[in-house]
Structure 1
Amino acid sequence: MNETRAQRRGAKRKRKRRLIMTISSLLMIGALTYVIFEFSAGLLSARGETSGDDQYEDAFHGVETPTGKSNILVLGIDQRSDEPTRSDTIMVAQYDGDTNEAKLVSIMRDSYVNVPDYGWMKINAAHAVEGGGPELMRKTIEQNFGIPIHYYAVVDFEAFTVAVDTVAPDGVNINVEKDMYYKDGVGTIDLDQGEQQLDGEELLGYARFRNDRYGDYKRVERQQLVMQAVLDEFTSFTGLTKLPRMLGTVTPYIETNMDTKSILGYGRHVLLNGTPSIETFTLPSDLTFKEERVPGAGAVLTFDEQEAKQAMEEFFE
């Protein structure tokens, strides 16, 4: 009888294990189906709105960082049809998967630098000149600031607004420090002072605003603040459920040399370790640059190249 009871208990345990495995498999299949469906739905909704051609990848020659950490060049581009495509936002993001630490350097677009093979000009022109693009920007940043870059991502403004509106349809909470109004060829920025929920277009306007005496320096501070706020929103539980559709929707607006395995690897690290806080830095730093006017270039920011390289070495150590 004892043997029979033992056999029954063993059979029950086996059935329980099979049931757990079956349920787990169904959940995994369901999750995978959801991800594929949402990604495809987002991709289909965006298809036809952009060409999706990657014009830079073959020419980009990224290098591994000495520490093994990945440095990613992020260029936010201004796609006005009547002007060359200058990079309105220039950042280098570093992520360390072992420690779940993230660092972000914003480079002011009026920084006056020596562009390889082109000479002295504003750094954002390195993306707009004939023969320019992420590779020339990579060389320029490494030469002037000593930052090695492995990956790049060129992001159209539209990708940012679509991503925010998809993941945070109720907006992202931002405390706008003052009334902001500015109109240019990209659009109109019109924000009231105070804490509020900003949709994708409004959040982009907040990040782009520089029509005051602080100019580009305060603008990059706002961009860094927005990056952290958006990352927090994306990695919330609600945000994570919407990420597949968002990724599918913004794919046509982003050009990158990061492969799917690398992207998923970063995503896995964030999911397992939680949202990293972002340590930020601005180049040139507020105490090291001078505002000058240069014939042919206009208002520029000049700085000491060696001081900038030393600051970056200390920041990324």
Structure 2
Amino acid sequence: MMVLLLGIDQRGSEVSRTDTMMLAQYDKKTQSTKIVSLMRDMYVDIPGHGKNKLNAAFAIGGPELLRETIAENFGVEAEYYSIIDFNGFTEIVDTLSPDGVEIDVEKDMQYTSGDGSTNIDLKQGNQTLSGDELLGYVRFRSDASGDFGRVDRQQKVIQILKDELLSVQGVLKAPRLVGSIQPYIDTNLSGTSILNAGKDILFQSSGSIDMMSVPTNDNVWNERKDYPVGLVLNHDFVETAQTLEQFFEEEKESDVS
């Protein structure tokens, strides 16, 4: 099963752009999970709309156009999608760990958006963060590492939250967790499928989740395009497609074995 996972600021907004875009695949035979983070500023060809940043596909045509864009550019078909409002993320964290989540914050992080809706103020070192603070940690990109640093933090937090859920207390809280986040999720998966997929990925997946991001560090460069596109992460499209194919290759082989 391949699912496109999206994190957005304002669910239902006509101009929403996705902060978080991931392809997640779980293979029942190997009980393994693979997740690819897709850089939001990655340069792509959006079917019917020319070339632009990947997250512009969602702003233009929602999850369906984004799925089509990924398939057309990289040959990866995500049959399902799941969109979670960031309020749902804070609900997950606060339900799992009402006393906060311990994490090593690698640097001071300060950022306030122009409209004041986002305020990040974190200090370097071991911290215990609430759901709202942890959301700030995974969204921060106001430093030299930009989106690359943010993707690394997102993947780090995914593994931490998985470990929290696999704890005894986490397992006991799972039913309440599902109910609390449902209002924040928009998906084309049925309710039963969501529960089954989540249970398989979180409880049966062995060991760490295998993760990567594209474009990779050795296949990316900054490039400025004409207005209104602006600065993008350009890359060799063929190489990116091959990287994704190789990453998911084991699951494809197990499906036909």
| Contact residue 33 and residue 201 of structure 2 kept, 8 A | no
Query: Displacement of 1:262 after TM fit?
Result: 2.1
Aligned to 2:223: 292
- How far does residue 80 in structure 1 lie from its aligned partner after superposition? 8.7
* Corresponding position: 1:107 with 2:52: no
State the distance in 2 between where 1:141 and 1:271 align.
25
Aligned residue for 1:128, secondary structure, equals helix
| Cα distance in 1, alignment partners of residues 24 and 205 from structure 2 | 17
List per-residue Cα deviations over 1:162-201 (Å, max 9, x = no partner): 1110111111221100110011144111100011221111
| Selected match of 2:128 from 197, 221, 226 | 197
Q: Return the structure number with greater strand share.
A: 2
- What residue identity is the alignment partner of 2:97? A
Structure 1 residue 260, shift from structure 2 partner: 2.8
1:260 matched to 2:182? The reply is no
**Which residue in the other structure is 1:312 paired with?**
244
Letter of the structure 2 residue corresponding to residue 182 of structure 1: Y
Give the match for residue 32 of structure 1: none
* Deviation sequence 1:111-170 (CA, Å, 0-9, x none): 1110011111111111112xx111100011111122111110011000000111011111
Q: Does 1:123 align with 2:54?
A: yes
What is the aligned partner in structure 2 of residue 157 from structure 1? Answer: 86
Of 117-126 and 270-279, deviating more is: 270-279
Deviations 1:76-123 (A, max 9, x none): 012299981111111111111221111110011111110011111111
In structure 2, give the amino acid aligned to 1:164.
Answer: V
Identical-residue share of aligned pairs (%)? 50
Larger Rg: 1
8 Å CA contact 2:14–2:59 kept in 1: the answer is: no
User: TM-score under structure 1 normalisation?
Assistant: 0.74
Q: Secondary structure at the match of 2:51?
A: strand
Give, as a single letter, the amino acid of the residue that structure 1 aligns with 2:234. Answer: T
Contact 2:82 2:185 in 1 (8 A): yes
- Cα distance, 1:276 vs structure 2: 4.2
Aligned residues of 2:166 and 2:203 also touching (Cα < 8 A): no
The match for 2:100 among 171, 176, 193 is 171
Between the aligned partners of 1:179 and 1:80, the Cα distance in structure 2 is: 29
- TM-aligned CA distance change 1:267 to 1:84, over 3 Å: closer
Question: Among 110, 135, 142, which residue is 1:181 paired with?
Answer: 110
Which residue in 2 is equivalent to 1:232?
Answer: 163
Q: TM-score, normalised by structure 2?
A: 0.90
SS class of match (2:169) = helix
**1:93 aligns to what?**
24
Counterpart among 143, 148, 164 of residue 212 in structure 1: 143
Q: CA RMSD in A?
A: 1.8
Query: Any unmatched runs of 5+ in structure 1?
Result: 1-69
Deviation string for 1:11-59 (max 9, x for gaps)?
xxxxxxxxxxxxxxxxxxxxxxxxxxxxxxxxxxxxxxxxxxxxxxxxx
Higher mean C-alpha displacement, 142-151 vs 99-108: 142-151
Listed one character per residue, the Cα deviations across residues 198-245 of structure 1 (whole Å, up to 9, x for unaligned) are 111111111011111111111101111111111111221101111211
Of stretches 216-225 and 235-244 in structure 1, the one that deviates more from structure 2 is: 235-244
